[in-house]
Amino acid sequence: MTKKKIKVVQLGLGPVGCGIAKLMLQKSCLEIVGAIDLVFAGKDLGVVAGLGQNLGIIVSENANEVFKKTMPDIVVQATGSFLKKVYPQLETAVRAGINVVSTCEELSYPYRSQPVLSAQLDNLAKEHNVSILSTGVNPGFLMDAWPLAMTAVCQDVQEIRATRIQDAKPRRLPFQKKIGAGKTVAEFNQLVKEGTLRHMGLPESIAMIASAMKWELDDIKETIEPVIAQMRVQSAFLSVEPGQVSGVKQTGRGIKDGKDIIVLEFQAYLGAEDSFDAVSIIGTPNIETVIKGGTHGDLATIAMIVNAIPRVVDGKAGLLTMKDMPLVYTLMGNT
Amino acid sequence: MTKKKIKVVQLGLGPVGCGIAKLMLQKSCLEIVGAIDLVFAGKDLGVVAGLGQNLGIIVSENANEVFKKTMPDIVVQATGSFLKKVYPQLETAVRAGINVVSTCEELSYPYRSQPVLSAQLDNLAKEHNVSILSTGVNPGFLMDAWPLAMTAVCQDVQEIRATRIQDAKPRRLPFQKKIGAGKTVAEFNQLVKEGTLRHMGLPESIAMIASAMKWELDDIKETIEPVIAQMRVQSAFLSVEPGQVSGVKQTGRGIKDGKDIIVLEFQAYLGAEDSFDAVSIIGTPNIETVIKGGTHGDLATIAMIVNAIPRVVDGKAGLLTMKDMPLVYTLMGNT
């Protein structure tokens, strides 16, 4: 890590992008030199991020112009979940010789679902001598990097399970909507059918674990079911009646020789009594580990992205994934 | 990681060294090409390691000869806890152009206690383009790499605590003796005074965490107290009467501005009811995480060493520590 400040451009100013920008402002080793967003172009980043003051950084809609003018070390991309959608932005940054850390879930381990695009992006990054990493709390930590890190003390592993049970009450309204809270079962199933109700990243986490464990999977399967409210539950934003959907239970399974050897279970609903994250490893020895009370999704995703910045700037050229990153820990040095 | 097998020499054939050798024999990506030990020189490694069969690898007492003859990629050193003691062995390996992974506790983060030797070793390793890493379960994971890994999801950290409570009953006799089980309090205190009763590694783990968190500590303090048996406790090897010592409680504290901001507590005694490992982070957000039932020390140390081998072989030249290693996970590929 250099002593010089790392120059960062923030690309995408939704709630997570704004959270990232706010956290970066607190880190003395980082300097935000630009911001890009289509919706907020022309406004000051400080106002958009809700700081109530100008930062002298005017949000632009022209990435190329910002990159040329500010010559950042890294771009933080928080614009979308699908690699195809964010690919043109990645390409612009890479061709400008800028490293990228991204929240794009599919990019967290894209080799299985997007082998062609992944190889293309990896080559492009190597050609321009920059690193690209997508991370976050999940995918990026709770269901891939964390379970893998815990296998360090195992001599052998037969099975890996990760479970994330979340009470969605304290989360943002977009999150509560995303998990189907307040919908009827028919509406929920329709949203699942349309592909709009889906936590992104389980197949990516499964593929990352399988790759690290050298397990050749027969298949990766995913199911999405509604959690039905047994009694009335309320959040600050929503009220869910008995029989309505309070959230989602989504399960990803990595199957080898007909057996589920990787099982990732994600439950997020209003009124979950016991929030926790857990990893269970069947191996030598077995490992049962829990994060009590769970992990606050928004805080943690923002943290992961910001904490990973120096590792990406110093990383090998190419498309990186969390399974091969040097240890990421809290980036200290607050102003 | 290359497809070629990694050629390994095992240096030191105590219980941990033998365990490492046995595990390496199960990994198809590793090939043991030699073994060095003063006590068992002339015997076959398979017999020494308790396999009940010859491996055709005769234990030698001459490291230089073994290195020249076998040209290994890496040496696994399991010979001692103090850097000064193992330094000559490290030097021999490094000068022969061989990477080293070591169980030496002081070497896990030696920059604070041995700044001169550390710099010397780092320079020597860089000069010969090899990597050196010391790891294990503790130091190496439970009280340094694991807590640091968990801070990845934190935006800020104020305090880190790691607690390891172990029932020593299932451990080896040397371990039970090491923690003072069966001694009187006077004998225990005498052993502490002589420096022979001490779990090695707490100051190293504290220094590693502090370095990662950019905390400039005023001091690192360590206390060692006996745990007194309230009733008779027995292991397969020992019997402890009420009033005698059943084990040890050792605490390491990293102090900044008069405050304990890193607290590592290690308790190992016969009859501990609830074995567990825990990490508690005061930060944004707080993280409380537990490994239920704890982590089997011998199995885990052996696993860490073997799992780290490919990372050390592929690592940057120099003296490495766990805080900057790429993610270590179970090395799969069993025969």
- Min distance B298 CA to chain A CA atoms (Å): 10
pLDDT for res B4: 87
- Min distance A88 CA to chain B CA atoms (Å): 29
B138-142, B168-172, B271-275 — which is least confidently predicted? Answer: B168-172
Task: Give the containing element (helix H, strand E) for B263.
Answer: strand B259-269
- Alpha carbon of B231 to those of A183, B228, B247: distances in Å? 59, 9, 13
Q: Which residues of B touch A303 (CB under 8 A)?
A: 152-155, 284
What number of H helices and E strands is found in chain A? 10, 14
Q: Which residues of A touch B290 (CB under 8 A)?
A: 289-290, 292
Q: Which residues of A touch B289 (CB under 8 A)?
A: 289-292
- Min distance B194 CA to chain A CA atoms (Å): 32
List the single residue in B with minimal CA-CA distance to A296: B285
- Min distance B190 CA to chain A CA atoms (Å): 34
- Alpha carbon of A270 to those of A1, A184, A231, A273: distances in Å? 42, 14, 11, 9
Chosen from B330, B331, B334, B335 to mutate, greatest number of chain A CBs within 10 A: B330
Judge contact between B32 and B97, C-beta under 8 A.
Answer: no
CA-CA-CA-CA torsion for A193, A198, A200, A204, nearest 10 degrees? -60
List the single residue in A with minimal CA-CA distance to B153: A300
- CB B333 to CB A214 under 8 A? yes
B1 — pLDDT class (breaks 50, 70, 90) = very low
pLDDT for res A214: 96
pLDDT for res B273: 85
Q: Report the phi/psi class of residue A173: left, alpha or beta, with left for phi > 0 and alpha for psi in -120 to 50.
A: alpha
- CB B327 to CB A330 under 8 A? no
Pairwise CA distance, residues B248 & B188, whole Å: 9
- Min distance A82 CA to chain B CA atoms (Å): 23
Mean pLDDT of chain B: 96
Q: Which residues of B touch A330 (CB under 8 A)?
A: 151-152, 154-157, 213, 283
pLDDT for res B174: 85
- CB B329 to CB A290 under 8 A? no
Q: Residue B195: which residues within 8 A CB-CB, separation 6 or more?
A: none
pLDDT for res A126: 98
- CB A304 to CB B152 under 8 A? yes
- CB B151 to CB A330 under 8 A? yes
Q: Which of A150, A285, A296 sits opposite B285 (nearest CB)?
A: A296
With DSSP H G I counted as helix, E B as strand and the rest as coil, what are the percentages for chain A, rounded to 5?
Answer: 35, 30, 40
CB pairs under 8 A between A and B: 159
pLDDT for res A335: 55
pTM of the complete model beyond 0.90? yes
pLDDT for res B129: 98
More confidently predicted of B271 and A132: A132
Q: Which residues of B touch A23 (CB under 8 A)?
A: 155
- Min distance B144 CA to chain A CA atoms (Å): 11
Judge contact between A200 and A222, C-beta under 8 A.
Answer: no
Interface ipTM: 0.96
Pairwise CA distance, residues B21 & B19, whole Å: 5
List the single residue in B with minimal CA-CA distance to A29: B214
Q: Which of A303, A326, A330 sits opposite B324 (nearest CB)?
A: A326
Please report the domains of chain B, with CATH numbers, ordered by start residue.
6-136+299-324 (3.40.50.720), 145-294 (no CATH)
B125 — pLDDT class (breaks 50, 70, 90) = very high
pLDDT in tens, B12-70: 999 999 999 999 999 999 999 999 999 999 999 999 999 999 999 999 999 999 999 99
pLDDT in tens, B238-255: 999 999 999 999 999 999
- CB B295 to CB A285 under 8 A? yes
- CB B293 to CB A292 under 8 A? no
pLDDT for res A1: 45
Q: Which residues of B touch A287 (CB under 8 A)?
A: 291, 295
pLDDT for res B201: 96
Task: List the Cα angle B119/A323/A27 in 5-degree steps.
Answer: 65
Pairwise CA distance, residues B136 & A332, whole Å: 26
pLDDT in tens, B201-227: 999 999 999 999 999 999 999 999 999
Instruction: Count CA atoms within 13 Å of residue B193 on its CB side.
Output: 6
pLDDT for res B73: 98
Regions of chain A short of the pLDDT cut 50: 1-2
- Min distance B325 CA to chain A CA atoms (Å): 5
Kind of pairing between the strands at B245-256 and B219-228: antiparallel
- Alpha carbon of A220 to those of A258, A261, A262, A267, A290: distances in Å? 11, 10, 9, 18, 25
- CB A289 to CB B291 under 8 A? yes
Judge contact between A215 and A187, C-beta under 8 A.
Answer: no
pLDDT for res B171: 83
Task: Give the containing element (helix H, strand E) for B126.
Answer: helix B115-127
Q: Which residues of B touch A208 (CB under 8 A)?
A: none
Comparing C-alpha atoms, which of A251, A259, A225, A293 is closest to residue A162? A251
Q: Residue A254: which residues within 8 A CB-CB, separation 6 or more?
A: A206, A207, A209, A210, A215, A217, A219, A220, A260, A261, A262, A263
Pairwise CA distance, residues B145 & B320, whole Å: 13
pLDDT for res A55: 97
